[in-house]
Amino acid sequence: MKQFTRAKSLSGEFIADLIERAHAFKKSKKYPNLSGKILGNVFFNPSLRTKLSFEAAMARSGGTALSLSSGSGTWAFESELGVRMDQDKPEHLKEAVRVMSRYVDALGVRSFASLGSVEEDAKEKVLSAFEEYATVPVVSLESAFEHPCQMLADMMTVQELVGVPRGKNFCLRWAPHIKALPLAVPHSALLAAAHLGMNITLAAPEGYDIDKGYENWVRSISHEKGATFTRITEPERLPEDTNIVYVKSWGAPSLYSTPARQQEELRKLSTWMVREQQLQRDSYLMHCLPVRRNVVVSDGALDHRNSKVIDQAENRLWAQLGVLDWIFSEE
Ligand code: CP
């Protein structure tokens, strides 16, 4: 059964094939023929881009996307095994996923990090339940630790902006937020840059490291491609000749268990907000959106001509068409 669920396990060749399809769809404005196909998406947290771009992709290709939000208009789903279900979740994913598989041709699932324990988040219980119980292909619409569809769209966007990315410079720049956010996009953005063979700088305060397993994976791909991986902790400094400044907020995993301290630390780091002055002449600004203006990125930087966040969001549509084309093809 085909699954597009784990960015870390995808080969470079497979990713390149999906991106090639995505570029071809975008260039030709032609869509795959998904007539009669139904994609059922389940969201465990809100979404604009992922939900609408998948629904639009299916509609434009002659298929249908049906979306459910767990606990809002459908049952709240339990993912823990062996629990007594006497709380607020009336249906277990063990039944729900198998039932949904009888109605649709593929399933998408958007889960979210609990941000309570990095070890628990790493288990990806919701995504794993879909992988285990689905009898149709599964696509991750973002999970606790990864956002593989965002990764594809980001790779497409970087290619459009810099031409040949190999050897060019990518900076993942941490930015403050009003609350801790998950590691999914930072992990996927770094994997994207590593697969593209870009020299990576991870610019984030002390303590705001990504998961060690992902960092090692990113470092090993970069090493294989002859690229570099550098970690810096100063808010002002961007490496010379940065081509892509990818801005993202995430929480410090070591503070997950102390939310009040996490909030306090985030407030202290407000000077990390990305400003127009930090954009070099030839560096492009990317962010997966949604973004809080003047908390994460200043108005001046977001509205700058080198800000490419809208093009990046558009590419979600084309990248996902590449995934859907593969998911529903006979190959
Ligand atoms: N970037 C992204 O996944 O956006 P949504 O949360 O709006 O889907």
Q: Does residue 262 line the site of ligand 1, with CB under 6 A?
A: no
Q: What angle do CA 144, 6, 41 make, to 5 degrees?
A: 70
Contact criterion met (CB below 8 Å) for 104 and 39: yes
Chain length of the chain:
331
Q: Does residue 289 line the site of ligand 1, with CB under 6 A?
A: yes
**How many other CB atoms are found less than 10 A from the CB of residue 178?**
12
Contact criterion met (CB below 8 Å) for 194 and 165: no
Q: Residue 110 CA: which ligand 1 atom is closest? A: 8
Residues of the chain with pLDDT under 50: none
What sign does the CA torsion over 2, 182, 152, 311 have? Answer: positive
Q: How far apart are CA 221 and CA 210, in angstroms?
A: 16
Q: Residue 142 CA: which ligand 1 atom is closest? A: 3
Q: What are the structure tokens assigned to 52, written together?
A: 């609408």
The CATH class that applies to domain 150-312 reads: alpha beta
Q: What angle do CA 227, 230, 235 make, to 5 degrees?
A: 140
Q: Residue 289 CA: which ligand 1 atom is closest? A: 1
Q: Which amino acid would we find at residue 208?
A: Y
Q: What are the structure tokens assigned to 113, written together?
A: 């990090």
Q: How far apart are CA 164 and CA 174, in angstroms?
A: 25
pLDDT of residue 281: 78
Q: Does residue 49 line the site of ligand 1, with CB under 6 A?
A: yes
pLDDT of residue 278: 87
Torsion of CA 275, 280, 283, 288, to 10 degrees: -10
Every domain range in the chain assigned CATH 3.40.50.1370? 3-146+315-328, 150-312
H-helix or E-strand spanning residue 279: none
Q: Does residue 315 line the site of ligand 1, with CB under 6 A?
A: no
From 327, 329, 320, 330, select the one nearest 25 (Cα to Cα): 320
Phi, psi of 69, rounded to the nearest 5 degrees: -115, 115
In the DSSP assignment, the letter for residue 2 is -
Q: How far apart are CA 89 and CA 77, in angstroms?
A: 5
Q: Does residue 140 line the site of ligand 1, with CB under 6 A?
A: no
pLDDT of residue 330: 87
Nearest protein CA to atom 4 of ligand 1, as residue: 49
Cα 223 to middle of ligand 1, angstroms: 30
Contact criterion met (CB below 8 Å) for 287 and 312: yes
H-helix or E-strand spanning residue 141: none
Task: Give me the half-sphere count of Cα atoms (radius 13 Å) on the Cβ side of residue 164.
Answer: 2
pLDDT of residue 128: 98
pLDDT of residue 244: 97
Q: Does residue 41 line the site of ligand 1, with CB under 6 A?
A: no
The CATH class that applies to domain 3-146+315-328 reads: alpha beta
- To test the pocket of ligand 1, the residue of 41, 43, 48, 152 to mutate (highest count of ligand atoms within 8 Å of its CB) is 48
**How many other CB atoms are found less than 10 A from the CB of residue 304?**
16
From 82, 114, 104, 77, select the one nearest 93 (Cα to Cα): 77
Q: List pLDDT tens digits, range 112-166.
A: 899 999 999 999 999 999 999 999 999 999 999 999 999 999 999 999 999 999 9
Cα 47 to middle of ligand 1, angstroms: 5
Q: How far apart are CA 55 and CA 41, in angstroms?
A: 9
Contact criterion met (CB below 8 Å) for 274 and 296: yes
Q: How far apart are CA 228 and CA 200, in angstroms?
A: 6
Cα 49 to middle of ligand 1, angstroms: 5
The tokens 């389940």 sit on which residue? Answer: 42
Q: Does residue 50 line the site of ligand 1, with CB under 6 A?
A: yes
Q: How far apart are CA 156 and CA 15, in angstroms?
A: 11
Nearest protein CA to atom 3 of ligand 1, as residue: 50
The pTM (predicted TM-score) of the whole model is 0.97
- To test the pocket of ligand 1, the residue of 289, 291, 311, 323 to mutate (highest count of ligand atoms within 8 Å of its CB) is 289
Q: Does residue 288 line the site of ligand 1, with CB under 6 A?
A: yes
